Amino acid sequence: MRLRTLNVGLEMDYPCICGRRFASERGMKIHRTQMGCLNKSFQQQRTALADKTLENQSRAQNHSAKLRTKNYDSSSTLSVKRSISQQQLQWSTLSRAESARKKRSQKRKNQERFVRDPFQFARQLFQQPKSGTLAVSREDLEAHLKKSYSETNRELSLEETAGLIWPAAPGIKFNNKPPNLQEVVAVVNKARAKSAPGPNGVPYLLYKRCPNVLNRLHKNLRSAWNNIKVSKEWMTAEGVYIPKEQNSKEINQFRPISLLNVEGKIFFSVMATRLTKYLRENGYINTSVQKGGIPGVSGCLETAAMILEAIQRAKSEKLNLDVVWLDLANAYGSVPHGMIQLALRMYHVPEDIQVMLDDYFSGFRMRFSTR
């Protein structure tokens, strides 16, 4: 009987959250359902959990506030430094972009200037500042001119050159008629109005602005051509020494130019134009070799383009390249006059033209001034 009572005592050990005890689990569940003990317990648990959560959040907020208070100075300094770095990066990027834009614009302008006038572009690119005044004695100047421009063997005839081939007779004859008005007008219009006049002081501008004066000049040029006579005024030039470098004083630091009367320049320009046309029409000139002095042939542009292509090819293929510039000293003055006359005869130029050119070179006079 005691054992039964013990077992009943064990089986009644089903306590409820309200404090009552039951003999079976079923009875406890019925009690909880009727009295709502389970709901009350859940609400109490939720309330306790909410209070605990609020407490934890409050502690966390207090902790974060303390951290922010401690790190305020360091974080503000970092943000300022970061802002400055970003501004510097933006300015650097804008500066590089602006520099690249200016370089592209300058490159485009240089290309346009080079295509428009290659000679003037190269001249401005390589030309150095020049200044100075020639300060030599008269004796030194005369000795230099005699050494540079005198031809001691002028009267000696040239010997026959072995292997010299004379060209065949021309298919198109040289135009030996007196200059017409259109040719004279073309030369005057092509000449620069700012060209310095010769010893008589008459500039091109006079003939550009005064058609009646140009007509009178045209008649004088026709008369000179018909009479095979070159005026002595056309053979006289005013010599001027131009400095080649800064603070030039010695004779070797200058280059001479001759200021001729424009009337003679017009006369011989018509003759040179006809001579060039005659040589080209008869195939006497190979334009693949001869570039200078040929109208319509851009020798400077073509040569510069060839050199540029060679340099770019050497850079891209990592090759060695040597560029040599040759400048013949006194190239035109060193040519014997007899060689000029021989060339005129070889290419069947009319005798009248040969006579006028020979008279011109024989009677040419130049005057220089010095201090």
Higher pLDDT, 114 or 14: 114
pLDDT interval class at 161 (50, 70, 90)? confident
Share of the chain above pLDDT 90, in %: 32
Q: Which residue has the tokens 């014997």?
A: 336
Share of the chain above pLDDT 70, in %: 79
Tokens of 82: 């970061």
pLDDT score of 10 more than 70: no
189: Cβ contacts below 8 Å, ≥ 6 apart: 208
pLDDT score of 7 more than 70: no
Burial of 126 (0-12, 13-18, 19+ CB in 10 A): exposed
Long-range contacts at 206-211 (CB < 8 A, ≥ 24 apart) = 207/262, 207/266
Domain boundaries, the chain: 2-38, 84-116, 130-368
Higher pLDDT, 311 or 160: 311
Q: Are the C-beta atoms of 237 and 224 separated by less than 8 Å?
A: no
Report which secondary-structure segment, H or E, holds 252: none
pLDDT score of 97 more than 90: no
Residues recorded for the chain? 371
pTM equals: 0.62
169: Cβ contacts below 8 Å, ≥ 6 apart: 348
Q: How many CB atoms lie within 10 A of CB 176?
A: 13
Longest dimension (CA), the chain: 175
Interval 209-218 mean pLDDT: 95
Task: Calculate the alpha carbon distances from 159 to 113, 162, 342, 354 in Å.
Answer: 48, 9, 11, 19
pLDDT score of 73 more than 60: no
Note the pLDDT tens digit of each residue in 15-69: 776 777 777 777 777 777 777 675 555 455 545 544 555 555 555 555 454 445 5
